[in-house]
Amino acid sequence: MKTLIKLLASGLGTGYSPVASGTAGSALAAVIFWYLFPRTGPVPALVVLVTLIASVPVSTAAEKLYGKKDDGRIVIDEVVGFWISVLWLPVSLKIVVSAFLLFRVLDVVKPFFVRKVQSWPGGWGIVADDFFAGLITNLILQLGVALGRGQCH
């Protein structure tokens, strides 16, 4: 069970990256999204919801295993946060790259109330800041897509 928790929490090992483990976890999420993510119907939202729900207890258990609050090896939160960033958006390289860059900036900077939710206990705090960074990213990109549709080409 410990191995499974570490494998999931570390984003299939990307959390063990010696530098920028959160970026490595987000990159894994982008690759999975690009190549393997379901595209139609309610399935994408269901995948995100299940991953989001599972990420809280997995992060809580991993935090206990690693013995450190929000250990850098825990990147399941970046995975689900990135997937929230691209949920219900058109699938294109431009969207994926924009979501990746904006999500990473928001995850690092933690604007508005996002920094405060990180102090929530256990997996809730680990996941909440990435949830909100992903949600803000998604809203910005949804607005950009909506405004872009009104342009003349």
Can you tell me the distance from the alpha carbon of 74 to that of 81, in angstroms, rounded to the nearest whole number? Answer: 13
Can you tell me the distance from the alpha carbon of 9 to that of 16, in angstroms, rounded to the nearest whole number? Answer: 10
pLDDT at 37 over 80: yes
At 150 the pLDDT is 59
**How confident is the model over 118-138, as a mean pLDDT?**
92
pLDDT one-digit tens code per residue, 112-127: 887 788 888 889 999 9
50 Cβ contact partners less than 8 Å away, ≥ 6 residues apart: none
pLDDT one-digit tens code per residue, 86-109: 999 999 999 999 999 999 999 999
pLDDT at 9 over 90: yes
Can you tell me the distance from the alpha carbon of 76 to that of 6, in angstroms, rounded to the nearest whole number? Answer: 10
Give the gyration radius of the chain's Cα atoms.
15
